[in-house]
Structures are given as C-alpha cells and as structure tokens.
Amino acid sequence: MTTNNAPIAAVIGAINIDILVQGLPHFAQPGEQVNGPQVQLRPGGKARNIASMLTHYLENDGVSLVAKLVLDTKGLYHVLRQSLEVDSIDTKNLILDSSDLDALPTLSIFLNTRDHQSASYYLPGNNENMSPADLDSRRSLFEQISVLVMTLEIPIPTACHALQMAQEIGLKVMLDPGGQPPEKTVDFSPLFEYPIYALKANAAEAERLTGIPVSDFQSAQQAAHLLMEKNVENVLITHGKHGGYAFIPQESRHIRVSEFDEDAISPLADATGCGDQVMAVLAGEYLWDKDFMTSAEVGIEAGTLQYKQPGLVDLSWEDIYPF
C-alpha cells in the first residue's frame, strides 16, 4: 500500500452495516425456520465498498469517503470507522451525525442459498440524509482530487449539488445510480442538468433511469443513447452472466464475461458487491489514464471475478490483470 496523504479520488454515498447469511438450503416459507451454516456482520454500503475496492486496486491510500456516520448509542459506528481505517480509506471527510443518539445506520440483510438464489432486506437509517451543506464543507477536497465517484445512496438534491460543485471545479464525475429505494417513484431528471463523465448501471437501474427494459445489446443501446442525449458522456450497463454493454460517442460494444463453470462456484458466492467492483475498477483505470472502453472491459472481468469469490473480497490489480 502506497502512503500518499494527497487525496486522488473521493466517493460519495453511504456506509452501512451488512448482515450476510450464506449457504442456505432454501428460503424459509411463512412460519418455517431454516438454518444457515454461515453469517457475517460486516461494513457495507455501495460507496464504502467502492472506496475500499478502489483503495486496494490502486494500492494507494488517497481515496476519501464522504459519507454520514451516525454516532449511535449501540456503538455500531465504532465498527464502521475502524473498518475504514483498517482498509486505509481516508476518514477525514466523514460527516459525523450525533443529532439523534437513538438512530441507527442503514442495515442491509442479504440472504443467499446454495444454488445462488438471493434476497435482501434494506432498512434505511439516518446516514442516508446527507445535505448540500454537508458537501459545501468538503469543497476543498473536491478541488484536490482527480475524479469523483458518486452513488445515489443520498437524496437527489444533494447529488445534484455535488454535480454542480464538480461542474464549477471542472471535476470528472462517475455515477452509480444504485441506492434509491426501489419502491419509490424517483425523478432522476435533475441529475442530467449537469455533465456526467461516466454512468455505470445494471440492467434494472438503466430501465429505471430511461424507462427502456434492458434485455440484450440492442435494448441497452437504446437506453444508453437516451442517457447520452441527456448529458452523459460514457455509459456501461452491466447484465449479469451476459457481461456488459459499453457505449462512447464513437463506439458501442458488447463485453462478454470469461467462461467459467457455474457448478464449480463456491456455494457461498453471491453477486453482492459485483457492481461496486466494476465501478471501482472503472475509476482506477481512469486514474491510470486508460480509455473508457478498455476500462469497461477490465471492469466487467473484475465483476465476474468478484462473483467467484466466497464472499466480498477487495481485489488487487494483480488479481484481475492476468485475464
């Protein structure tokens, strides 16, 4: 790990508590008890995952996390803050919230079966209430970094404020639109009043942004072109075992995943964090001056490799580049 006090990237979003239950024989029916062989309590949140993955990928401690840390009376925030320090993520720009001592951070519960079925429960906490004023006090950070990665684990007006600040500074923004509650009707249109260098979405998120169901390369192309007409320069839409679809103004490409034996995958493997791994690699490759298409290819390979892991693992560039 390179020691570098100068920040090179920042990630805006949330830091949560994840409860991960793996290796279930099946999901419980109403009134049924199902025993699982393994449970993990770990720090999570898309932004936190991306910051950790980017730090390990670059082997550089210049990645700063901008997230609200709820100072709860249960002491969960100690677990979260210590995890950031262990992973060499810059914590100087955390937003410490002691306004409600009975509040909790967001809790995410992930259930995974042996045959790779998954389900999740999401309990939003006070850490997702970041305000524009919280970002104003971090402007000096944004003036120092080379790229800003942002998730939508924050209110849309706050995300728009971050995009406005980046535009004023001349800072490139990479947006992961995950994080908004799926049951809510969200108006994403204000985001596209500002330039976005790159948008990485999965198929479901791309449909939510554009109204176009993404099932193959052609439908992904329609969704991507709509986004690019709205102020997005480059688009990557991930699509599970189908790989991903990358789009720049001059080129469109279907990036297929490397072949692997699904039966050989660990029963503890799951897709949690695969999209975060893709985004971290996209940002890392950008910082290494790689073009977007090359970065997208490496990112899709990284997401596939993450899926093969028994749990969430921060991959290094050495893990990924042999492909």
- Residue 273's pLDDT band, with cuts at 50, 70 and 90, is confident
| Complete DSSP assignment for 137-177 | TTHHHHTT-SEEEEESSS-HHHHHHHHHHHHHHT--EEEE-
Under DSSP, the state recorded for 250 is: T
Query: Which domain, by its residues, includes 64?
Result: 9-28+35-320
Question: What's the rounded Cα separation, in Å, for the pair 286 and 73?
Answer: 40
Q: What is the pLDDT of residues 187-230, one digit of tens each?
A: 999 999 999 999 999 999 999 999 999 999 999 999 999 999 99
Query: Does residue 297 belong to any structural domain of this protein?
Result: yes
pLDDT number for residue 4: 56
Q: In this predicted model, what pLDDT tens digit does every residue of 49-107 receive, in sequence order?
A: 999 999 999 988 899 999 999 888 888 888 899 999 999 999 999 999 888 878 888 88
Residue type, 46: K
Q: What pLDDT is stored for residue 2 in this prediction? A: 47
Beta-ladder partners of 247: 235, 252
pLDDT band at 262 (very low <50, low <70, confident <90, very high): low
CA distances from 195 to 152, 211, 283 (A): 16, 21, 17
Average pLDDT across the chain, whole number: 90
1 lies in some domain: no
- Give the amino acid at 254: H
Please list the residues that pair with 70 across neighbouring strands.
97
pLDDT digits over 145-196, tens only?
999 999 999 999 999 999 999 999 999 999 999 988 877 789 999 999 999 9
Per-residue pLDDT at 21 exceeds 70? yes
Residue 1 has pLDDT above 50, yes or no: no
Tokens for 83, please give them: 């995890």
Residue 157 lies in a domain: yes
Relative to beta strand 63-70, strand 118-123 is unpaired
pLDDT tens for each residue of 102-130? 888 888 898 989 888 888 898 888 778 89
Q: Is the pTM of this model over 0.75?
A: yes
pLDDT, residue 265, reads: 56
24: three-class secondary structure by DSSP: strand
Residue with tokens 């192309």: 221
Q: What is the CATH number of the domain that holds 304?
A: 3.40.1190.20
DSSP for 200-216 reads EEEHHHHHHHHS----S
Helix (H, G, I), strand (E, B) or coil at 82: helix
Q: Is residue 265 part of a domain?
A: yes
Q: Which of 144, 174, 170, 145 is nearest to 159 (CA)?
A: 174
Parallel, antiparallel or unpaired: strands 107-113 and 95-97:
unpaired
Is the pLDDT at 3 greater than 60? The verdict is no
In a domain, 4, yes or no: no
Tokens describing residue 68: 């609200």
Q: How far is CA 83 from CA 57, 180, 215, in A?
A: 17, 24, 37
Secondary structure (3-state) at 2: strand
* Mean per-residue pLDDT, 262-269: 55
Whether 290 has a pLDDT exceeding 60, the answer reads yes
| Residue 81 included in any domain | yes
What are φ and ψ of residue 70, in 5° steps? -80, 120
Domain count, the chain: 1
Residue 92 falls within a domain, yes or no?
A: yes
Q: What is the percent of the chain where pLDDT is above 90? A: 63
